Amino acid sequence: MFGNLSDRLAETFRNLRGKGRLSPADIDATLREIR
């Protein structure tokens, strides 16, 4: 259970890492992925 959550969070942050600035759309997409 926690392994799956950890993997999803790691993938989400990996996707955000390359962005210099987050837009509201990026934040919405990230929250959808985490849920």
The greatest distance separating any two alpha carbons of the chain, rounded to the nearest whole angstrom, comes to: 32
Domain residue spans in the chain? 2-34
Please write the tens of the pLDDT for every residue from 1-35.
688 888 888 888 888 887 778 889 988 988 887 77
Residue 34's pLDDT is 75
Residue 30's pLDDT is 81
CA 24, CA 10: separation in Å to the nearest integer? 20
Radius of gyration of the chain (CA): 10
CA 33, CA 29: separation in Å to the nearest integer? 6
Residue 5's pLDDT is 84
Phi-psi domain of 23 (left: phi exceeds 0; alpha: psi -120 through 50; beta: other): beta
